[in-house]
Structure 1
Amino acid sequence: MSSPPAAPPSPSASSSFSLRRIAVPAFGPSLLFGLGEGAILPIVPLTARELGASVPIAALMVALIGIGSLLNNIPASMITMRWGERWAIVVAGVWSGLGMALCVGTSHLGLFATGCFMVGMSQAVYNLARQSYMTEAVPPEFRARALSTLGGVMRIGMFAGPFLAAGAVHAYGLPAAYVVGIVAVMGAAALGARIPDLEVPPAPPGHVAPAPTTIVSTLRDHRRVFLTLGLGVMLVSAVRASRQAVIPLWADHLMLAPSVASLIYGLAGGIDMLVFYPAGKVMDQKGRRWVAVPSMLIMGLAMLLMPLTTGTLTLLLVALAIGFGNGIGSGMIMTLGADHSPRHGRAHFLGVWRLMSDIGSSCGPALLSFLAGSLSLASGIAAIGLIAFAAAGALAYWIPRRGKAGKAAEAAESAKAESATPGA
């Protein structure tokens, strides 16, 4: 059974809460999980080519990781509901390690593809379980900082992973990258096993346990959130996923050297990783809109300016703006999902929420590719910029004012509990 939800923290508990106290068990697994995935991602297409895959098939091997995550968001919610957040995190780390071991231990392209898919499956389970756990374990007034840090630490791991893998590959060959990945994700599983269980709240007098939730009941009960703010989150994810392609593609369009393109991309990633905690603090103290809307406006403006760049310096400035806009939005999607998720059946809600986010992440680069092929690369990048402005408008309109989302979710839960009370 899933770990029961924690009781709402008292004011004294909230005032004594410190992110530093939970840093290692809460953020350590994210750092290691990100490091493990970052170590293998650049190596997957190279390994596929060594196994005889064509260039398109090698690219598909990388895509299978994302596909595995997309298709397993709903099963991940069921795993988390049944086993609880702590053991879901442990299982995700072990399953990812097995997938990487299959990738490095086989000479058959079909089995290699299965290993890549397994890594994507574990990504879905891990991401949902860590978000669900942090939502329960952290007082609401620290929620954005905690989830922004969670997302930022994962990005740091993804950033550092390729460098560790590069050193290992240089010394021992391509399989060494998978060894780095396996050690990292198994370390994440070991740290995850040390996460303290959530406390069981006392049952209110005269109340009975609410009826079990399902994916169907979750979709029905929260359809308004999914059809409003959820659509905004899909647009945000489309923009974020596209940013990873537009910088190297436009650098190539400007005929910059690959080393220069990589440097620009890396500097943008560095800015991305520096601002996640201050942004989370602003979200906690001022409200979600103060970060969510500027994040999309900055990225949208930078995307529209990118086709006007003509050289290294101008492209660098635009890329840094994209990195800053994306960085201040670290943890934004997780925070909005946590704000609107009910205490009962939270994993099912977050499973649907993450599914919508992953759909956006898949559609963004696909739209960029279609427009670049049918019109021009500049038109595709400009279209992504307009989508960012649409996302900013959707978030500005649908994000509740500070504190209202959590209160609405608690009110809905209270109404359900009262309806289940004898004599209510």
Structure 2
Amino acid sequence: MSKNDRPGDFSLWSIAIPAFGPSLLFGIGEGAILPVIPLSARDMGSSLAGAALVVALIGIGSLVSNIPASIITAKFGERVGMVGAATLSLVALLLCVFAHDLWLFGLGVFLIGAASAVFNLARQSYLTEAVPPFLRARAMSTLGGVGRIGLFAGPFIGALLIHLVGLSGAYWVAAIAVAGAGAVAWSLPDLVSSQGPAPSGPGPTIRSLMVAHRHVFLTVGIGVLLVSAVRSSRQVVVPLWADNLGLNPAVTSLIYGLSGAIDMLVFYPAGRVMDKKGRIWVAVPSMALMGISLLLMPLTTGAVSLLLVAMLIGFGNGIGSGLIMTLGADYSPRHGRAQFLGIWRFLADAGGSSGPAILAGLTAAVTLSFGVAVTGLLGLAAAAVLGYSVPRNKPQHR
């Protein structure tokens, strides 16, 4: 065991504010604007379908920007990548505030998604290099958990300013938050790798990385795609099923909020289990619990039974906090790490975009309960794929 692998030689607290502070602020900004983007689009004359499309532009912007983001991060470095992403996001938010045309507003939303792709990839790459392998899962779980705390708090902070100045208040909250994230990222200490100097020479191409690591992408990568599809669907499933049961919006919000609270409480213990026992001890239970919960949801008949299932979903999702980032860090090579993580995040975003689309298609073609049940089966499939792939491709810490 090397010096950097010995517990006690490194503490997450030593990089807590510079590493996790920007993620908290970025999460607050995103949480503040997500509920009001469709309302802003409607105010500009958009139809309901058009407003939904505008919201989807965030995910589309992130999806198409993952590979370019990896090239930018590899060329200019993680710290510059995060600062640049915060600057782009700030410009995009100001565009949203002052836009009077729907297409200009949509462009701003798209750029917010593109900026988030650069920011998320750069912060993951930074932590992968800076944190020793024995703390990696805890670092990634904390990173994911802190982002979720920001997403949870953002709407409440945004609501306060919306009450004072109208819908634009949410965008000003986000602008202040991402400006703060950029400032904290700028103060990041110079990156000193916990794993020794990186190999010199020109970096590998995206194509060469895909060929060299095709087995990982076709096994664990497929599992990651399924995980993201289930996670994104679960955000839609709970309010849709609550509406199907005839619950009023206040009760629906309470159920959704309690599920999110459970989600936020368990991220660090899960990361500790992944570091001590192995990734498989969290990956399989997380997706199995979510799959079983989603299969149980069509059997719920009222607020109490739906609350119990929603909290189980929140627990399953919460213990998987940071799982995708941890697996990506484990399998990423030292030479070409940013580009590898760009491909990894592309797979995750592709799954995140396809999950709600699959649910919507099945609901339209059959019924909502059928769509929810199939989403549950996708969760069990994710557990099976990860259970088969992760132990047989256990990475050696580089």
Task: Name the aligned partner's letter for residue 30 of structure 1.
Answer: S
Cα 1:173–1:128, aligned 2, differ >3 Å: closer, same or farther?
same
- Residue from 251, 271, 274 that aligns with 1:260: 251
Q: Distance in 2 between matches of 1:70 and 1:332?
A: 19
Task: Name the aligned partner's letter for residue 41 of structure 1.
Answer: L
Structure 1 stretches of 4+ with a deviation exceeding 6 A read 200-204
Task: Name the aligned partner's letter for residue 91 of structure 1.
Answer: G
Q: Distance in 2 between matches of 1:9 and 1:303?
A: 44
Taking structure 1 as the reference length, the TM-score comes to 0.91
Taking structure 2 as the reference length, the TM-score comes to 0.97
1:138 matches 2:128: no
- Residue from 385, 395, 398 that aligns with 1:405: 395
Alpha-carbon distance, 1:94 to partner: 0.9
Please identify the structure whose Cα radius of gyration is greater: 1
- Residue from 51, 56, 65 that aligns with 2:58: 65
Structure 2 residue aligned with 1:294: 285
Q: What whole-Å deviation, never above 9, does each CA across 1:203-260 have from its counterpart, x for those lacking one?
A: 69xxx83442111111111111101110010011100000001000000000000110
Alpha-carbon distance, 1:9 to partner: 6.5
Q: Distance in 1 between matches of 2:46 and 2:203?
A: 46
1:271 matches 2:249: no
Alpha-carbon distance, 1:106 to partner: 1.4
Alpha-carbon distance, 1:401 to partner: 6.3
Structure 2 residue aligned with 1:360: 351
- Residue from 318, 323, 330 that aligns with 1:332: 323
- Residue from 194, 197, 211 that aligns with 2:190: 197
Alpha-carbon distance, 1:58 to partner: 1.1
Q: What whole-Å deviation, never above 9, does each CA across 1:347-375 have from its counterpart, x for those lacking one?
A: 00000000000100111111100111111
Structure 1 residue aligned with 2:67: 74
Cα 1:359–1:12, aligned 2, differ >3 Å: closer, same or farther?
closer
Alpha-carbon distance, 1:59 to partner: 1.2
1:244 matches 2:242: no
Map 1:150-161 to 2 at 5 A.
Answer: 150-161=143-154
Map 1:28-177 to 2 at 5 A.
Answer: 28-177=21-170
Answer yes or no: is the 8 Å Cα contact 1:9–1:139 preserved in 2: no
Alpha-carbon distance, 1:199 to partner: 2.6
Q: Distance in 2 between matches of 1:191 and 1:202?
A: 25
Cα 1:265–1:40, aligned 2, differ >3 Å: closer, same or farther?
same
Q: Distance in 1 between matches of 2:102 and 2:12?
A: 44
The DSSP-based 3-state class of the residue aligned with 2:57 is helix
Alpha-carbon distance, 1:12 to partner: 7.2
1:341 matches 2:332: yes
Q: Distance in 1 between matches of 2:87 and 2:323?
A: 28
Answer yes or no: is the 8 Å Cα contact 1:295–1:329 preserved in 2: yes
Alpha-carbon distance, 1:289 to partner: 0.5
Alpha-carbon distance, 1:202 to partner: 7.0
Alpha-carbon distance, 1:49 to partner: 1.1
Answer yes or no: is the 8 Å Cα contact 1:148–1:277 preserved in 2: yes
Structure 2 residue aligned with 1:383: 374
Answer yes or no: is the 8 Å Cα contact 2:4–2:10 preserved in 1: no
The DSSP-based 3-state class of the residue aligned with 1:358 is helix
Q: What whole-Å deviation, never above 9, does each CA across 1:235-288 have from its counterpart, x for those lacking one?
A: 111000000010000000000001100100000000000000000000000000
The DSSP-based 3-state class of the residue aligned with 1:360 is helix
Alpha-carbon distance, 1:400 to partner: 2.8
Q: Distance in 2 between matches of 1:13 and 1:95?
A: 39
The DSSP-based 3-state class of the residue aligned with 1:406 is coil
Cα 1:46–1:405, aligned 2, differ >3 Å: closer, same or farther?
same
Q: Percent identity?
A: 59
Answer yes or no: is the 8 Å Cα contact 1:14–1:139 preserved in 2: no
Q: Distance in 2 between matches of 1:182 and 1:211?
A: 37
Q: What whole-Å deviation, never above 9, does each CA across 1:41-84 have from its counterpart, x for those lacking one?
A: 11111111111111111111110011000000000001100110
Unaligned residue ranges in structure 1 (runs of 5+): 1-7, 411-424
